[in-house]
Amino acid sequence: MLVSAAIFSLAGATAAKAACDIYCDGRNPDLARGNRVPASATVDGRLIRLHISDADDLAWASISNGSPGDEVWLDRSWDGTTRPNYIARLEHLLIPFDNSVIPSGDRGWRTMMYTVNDPSHHQVGTVRACGKPGNRSNVACTPWASAMLDGGSPAAVAATALMQIYDPSGGNWRNSLWNNGWWISANALTAMIDYMSRGGHSRYSYVIPMTFAANKGAQGGNFTNGYIDDTGWWGLAWMRAYDYTGNSQYLAMAIRDADYMYKFWDNKCGGGLYWSAEKRHKNAIENELFLKLAAGLHNRLPGDIKYLKLAQAEWDWFSASGLINSSGLVNDGLDGECRNNHKNTWTYNQGVILGGLAELYRATGKALLLAEADVIASAAIAHLTVNGVLTEPCGRNGCGGDSLAFKGPFIRNIYELSRTERTSAYDGFLRNQAVSLWGRACNLDGQCSCNWAGPFNDFNYATQQAALDAFSAAP
């Protein structure tokens, strides 16, 4: 990557220092316990390399085949703003950090080692190496890369990339794409909890109490707002947080959210929840979320009767509503005449119902519920894949906004269904999604695009949480 030298005009500025992790900034590379070279770049015959010692959580930069006066340095970002769709902050160091110059008589040089992450301040970092000939303006930089944490599996790398764009000060994921990112943050939190619980990792466990404390007074309070499905996503996130931590305050929040959602149930169309507080439309997603949340609460509240009745009433209504079409797929919602609106069969509409039926099965033991779920799951795999890779009905390249996040909930819930059924029938499908993503749609830093068949072209926290779901679910 060639970069204009003009952006490095702050070369004399003092770079932000990290707190010590395993070792402090400025350690000698001779002491490194590893030397992985994930990326390199060239400029005018010079070779610039990025070096990472994963065991030490340290990185350094080197230049070779150069001349005295050539420069090499390390860039480090604390907030993931290394991509065009994010606004850089001062913590994002697009200035030479630990600038080193090849001395007289040598053809190569290197920087000292610097920590990639700063866990004491909940900073998840990424680094790159840059360099330039001493008497020229051309600058070459390697791609960005991160330390391989938690073993360096695809799920671990994707989780690190997702946490790079978490804002500890605001307790939420940074969003510069659209204003309605509230529900996607709930999914990002859920994806992180699933990653930690399935892999036995706790590195990012701070994300649960931090997100809870910072946002419980936001929007309508208690993770509610005027969109009933948004509340459902948060209710499920806090139910998962309870499963992972055992902290009853999270279960209490899930109960509040379920009770809030039920306020928007009436007898129009024979029952069902409205999509928003305006009470104009009854769609599939808020009703699927309520089914899963109510049944899940029953399964976690000894002696409960209330939420089991609500969950059963939800499924009785949903299954008779016409939302499930003749192909076995769930359409987006009902029209003004209470009929299937025949709008898009989004992947997340096929997914959440699977998790809801799995929870209701655990509550009732009725095998027919799992059979209904299998029909929907099989229809989704048959109709919403291209060459075996999950794809939204809007096509490979035509999706945007909220739909960037939809595939994550589908994968999450078909995984939950398979574990409830104790079947391996979906393992090949789940494995194929992760393989395609990792091989075609993710970059060196573990960031992944919306199109799981590739190529990598962009990323944000909506696409990243979906990718993390896929990697965590892969058998």
Q: What is the pLDDT of residues 151-184, one digit of tens each?
A: 899 999 999 999 999 988 889 887 644 445 899 9
pTM for the structure as a whole:
0.92
In the chain, the percentage of residues whose pLDDT exceeds 70 is 89
* Neighbour count for residue 422 (Cβ, 10 Å): 6
pLDDT at 378: 98
pLDDT at 228: 98
pLDDT at 460: 87
pLDDT at 17: 59
Average pLDDT over residues 443-469: 93
Write the pLDDT tens digit of every residue in 354-400.
999 999 999 999 999 999 999 999 999 999 999 999 999 876 555 67
CB 178 within 8 A of CB 401: yes
Q: What is the CA radius of gyration of the chain?
A: 25
Statement: residue 454 has pLDDT above 80 = yes
**What does the domain layout of the chain look like in residue ranges?**
2-141, 154-473
Q: What are phi and psi of 165, to 5 degrees?
A: -110, 20
- In the CATH scheme, what architecture does the domain 154-473 have? Alpha/alpha barrel (1.50)
In sequence order, the β-bridge partners of residue 46 are: 43
Question: Hey, what are 459's tokens?
Answer: 């990323």
Statement: residue 315 has pLDDT above 70 = yes
Confidence of residue 5 (pLDDT cuts 50, 70, 90): very low
Pairing assessment for the beta strands 46-53 and 97-101 based on DSSP bridges: unpaired
Average pLDDT over residues 71-92: 60
In the chain, the percentage of residues whose pLDDT exceeds 90 is 78
CB 402 within 8 A of CB 349: no
Lowest mean pLDDT among 16-20, 234-238, 378-382: 16-20
Mean pLDDT computed over every residue of the chain: 90
The amino acid that residue 167 corresponds to is: D
